[in-house]
Amino acid sequence: SLKSRADGDQTLLPFIGYVLVRRHHGDLKNFYDETTDIRNPEKVAVIKRQCTAISKETLKNVFHEKIPDEIVAGFFIELDSVLASIIRDGKLFNLKPRLEKITESPSMEVFTLFYYSLLLSGDKMDAAEINQERNTEGLRSDLVDLYKSNKNFVQPESIINKMRNEIYEDVTSKVNSLNLTDRIYFLNVPTGTGKTLTSVSLALKLRERIFNETGVTPQIIYCLPFLSIIDQNYDVISSVFSSAFGDGEKIPSNLLLKHHHLSDLTYSSDDENYDDDEAKLLIEGWHSEFIITTFVQFFHTIISNKNRAIRKFHTLANAIVILDEVQSIPHEYWLLFHDVIQTLAQFLNMR
């Protein structure tokens, strides 16, 4: 589990949980600032008013199987003394030196963002009363093979098409020999040799292999640098999906989703359509098996303190991420990008 991989000071987990809950309607702040708020009389007064407004019976029901009723009830009775103790003993303030350890522990940073993302996603979906289940069985591993067969790409006549087929067969035939503990792979082929179809097919076949060997079904996240080529690649991948659904059939959004800042607010599943507000929640939360998005969306997800961006961070766990045209990343970000990707691959099992 992610918790077992976290190599930082795990006695800080209650404090991290406190911060995540406190900030789930806003953005993450500097943890140091969270340790001083308890000394602010106005903020303490707000805490007391909030606690007074909480239904004790509702709280008991929520924590019934986790925390004994008498402890929940005692929290309200002893609130003043607990707050006084925290202030008097400097319990939060004294955490400051230990909080430095979080920034020194990439695993604890990933742990924090992962659970913050889960909380944000669960809270928003629950408030909107949306229960969108994954459609893990709707994505076939042979989609590209079927598409190539339907388009008569399997017996090419031109030299370039023969080269495309050779590259495709060479790459996809290696999926079963890949070492799954090596989570970062490179596909270096010339422009115009069918990289899109090859990488999509490899991802689909790798997804099936991972499921067969681990029981986990990864989402696939295809990232591109420019909006112009996103639309182009989306059209190609839509055609691939149509080979299984039939031409003219609408591909449900919970199987294939395009997300960037100009995306249409339309979302549908196999049996339901959603209004604009619901669609926005589902699109921005990457509720799909195959997501096509921009480098900007991806980078904001992995390097941000913003509620809206971090909300989809947890979808990276076990995901297969395709970074197309990766050389277009500005060189000043290469080292940062390398370190972050290595960390996510290690602690989130991302590929």
251 vs 309: CA distance, rounded Å: 26
**Residues 6+ away with beta carbon under 8 Å from 22:** 34
CATH 1.20.120 fits 136-348, yes or no: no
Note the pLDDT tens digit of each residue in 46-57.
Answer: 888 888 888 888
| Tens of pLDDT, residues 22-40 | 899 999 988 877 777 767 7
| Rounded-to-integer distance, Cα 220 and Cα 315, Å | 10
Per-residue confidence (pLDDT) for residue 127, from 0 to 100: 93
- Where do you find CATH 3.40.50 in the chain? 136-348
What is the predicted pLDDT for the residue at 94?
67
Mean pLDDT of 314-335: 95
Per-residue confidence (pLDDT) for residue 247, from 0 to 100: 66
Any bridge partners for residue 173, and if so which?
none
Calculate the average pLDDT of the chain.
Answer: 87
pLDDT digits (tens, 9 = 90+) for 286-301: 999 999 999 999 999 9
What percent of the chain has pLDDT above 90? 54
What are the pLDDT digits (tens) for 244-290? 777 667 899 999 999 998 888 899 887 788 999 999 999 999 999 99
**CA-based nearest residue to 350, from 319, 323, 322:** 319
Q: Name the one residue in this structure whose structure tokens are 């230990």.
A: 98
